[in-house]
Amino acid sequence: MNSKFIVLTIGLVALIALTVFLAPTASAKVAGIVVIADLSHGQGSLGLDILMKVVPEAEWYILVDSSEAAAALDPAICNLARGILVGSFDSMTLYPSCEAAATGTGGVSISLGALYADMVIIGQHSSILSDDEITAIKNWMSKRPGVALWIAGDSDYGTGKLVQEVINSELEALDSVLRLELVSVEDSVNNCGGRGYRVVAFVDPPDELWFIRLGAEKVLAHGPGVVAGFDVATGNFVPIRDREMTISGRKVVTLLRTSTNGEIVENTEDDRPIEIKAYKVGEKGSFPIVAAEIRETGTILIASGESPYGAYQPMVTFRYYEQKLDGPRFLRNVILWATGYMGELEYIISLKKVITSIEEAAKKDLEKLAGELRGIGSEVEGLSTDVSELRDKLTKLSDTVTGLSTSISSLDSRVGGVEGKISDIESKVTDLESSVKSVEGSIGALSTNQTISIALGVVALILAIAAIALAIRRK
């Protein structure tokens, strides 16, 4: 099966599916996966409306910390939201709209479990989750296996180190094996506008999650931090080098990383001992910016060194410094996978299975045909050998015939020579006969006895000559 045809087919199906899903924003009001975006811990809202549009089949709920914050929400976000949550993760009141939340009317108390939340996204923040909030989130994750939590961080630039420390405290409280290393990563080659901190990162999941790459290759990570693993036994941070690895018994996969031109830099001094750090300042290579911990229950915990929304320039950005980016598609793929909904990805996966099945069948047929051709080749080679042997025999036979022809020609020449000699003898005999007749005439007067004696002598001579001639002919 032609690889270009496979790519074209998958792309076409994805485009058709995405077209259906991106039809009116009112589709967000239809019951679907439930996603909560947190704005209650000091996050900005930049790009959140775009993210909500990217997954319109989801029921989006926005968590803010007060009615005043609800009143200040961007109208675009209000129009796309299924509901507004006011309070904190451990104590929320659900309102049907921004207006209701701003005035405090029509609200009902609700929990993460009662809301049937499938995913919670906590964008880059500096206000730490309370112990009660951590407990509420852990209860939600334990009672609803298969849910997803995304906690986003930042680099160590400016106040970013505080964000990193907050995130690490929360990850530790949630018993995660993921952490943010207290550094930044830059890329002098793959960036926007020629600045190394405006990193263009690459979607690079393990093979089993290949579909996260569907339509997504490059994603903006503006001033990102780096995700590390945490070794529970030693208390040290450990590097995440592979796309899939096990850290303290947990499965960890990378989803987004820098190119191999990435370089670890330190913007804010970190006085921790170097031996407990995962990455060293000046180190170069490909570093993870988004990684996911997949637990045995199916629950997914994502940690990132950049935020999908609310950052200075979030990952959802689709164009920056004239460079086209795939942030929206990447985030959609991650949300579809993390919630288990899958959407069009499910059909793409099925299509790939069919294509793979066809390819495997075709491969087997080709291998069978190749075997048959090899067999025919062996037969042809055998026939070629037989033909060569026959050719050699014909050559030898031709040489034998040529030799016989030469012998016959030589014999013919010898016979011709003998015949010539016989002709000479016959001629001489004829001459002798004439001479005898002449003698006979000359001695006619001799007596009868003399005549008889002479005649007998002549006859004896003739017979002797004839005997000689016959002997020569037999040779």
Helix (H) or strand (E) holding 42: none
Which range has the worst mean pLDDT, 183-187, 280-284, 422-426, 449-453? 449-453
**For position 372, what pLDDT does the model report?**
86
Q: Give dist(CA 118, CA 338) in Å, integer.
A: 9
How far is CA 358 from each of CA 8, 99, 347, rounded to the nearest angstrom? 16, 55, 16
Contact call for residues 376 and 370 (beta carbons, < 8 A): no
**More confident of the two residues 414 and 64:** 64
DSSP state of 130: P
Specify the 3-state DSSP secondary structure of 67: helix
Q: What's the pTM?
A: 0.74
**For position 448, what pLDDT does the model report?**
52
383 pLDDT more than 70: yes
Q: What is the CATH number of domain 31-342?
A: 3.40.50
CA nearest 302: which of 140, 206, 128, 174? 174
10 pLDDT more than 60: no
Q: Domain coordinates of the chain in residue numbers?
A: 31-342, 360-474
| Torsion of the alpha carbons at 418, 421, 427 and 428, rounded to the nearest 10 | -130
For 79-96, the pLDDT digits (tens) are 999 999 999 999 999 999
194: tokens are 């020629």
Contacts of 412 (CB under 8 A, 6+ apart): none
Q: Where are the alpha helices (DSSP H) in 198-274?
A: none
**pLDDT, mean over the chain:** 88
Number of Cβ within 10 Å of residue 101's Cβ equals 29
**More confident of the two residues 206 and 370:** 206
395: tokens are 């050559």
CA nearest 27: which of 47, 56, 65? 56
**For position 452, what pLDDT does the model report?**
54
Q: Give dist(CA 73, CA 79) in Å, integer.
A: 10
Across residues 151-171, what is the average pLDDT? 96
Q: How many residues are recorded in the chain?
A: 475
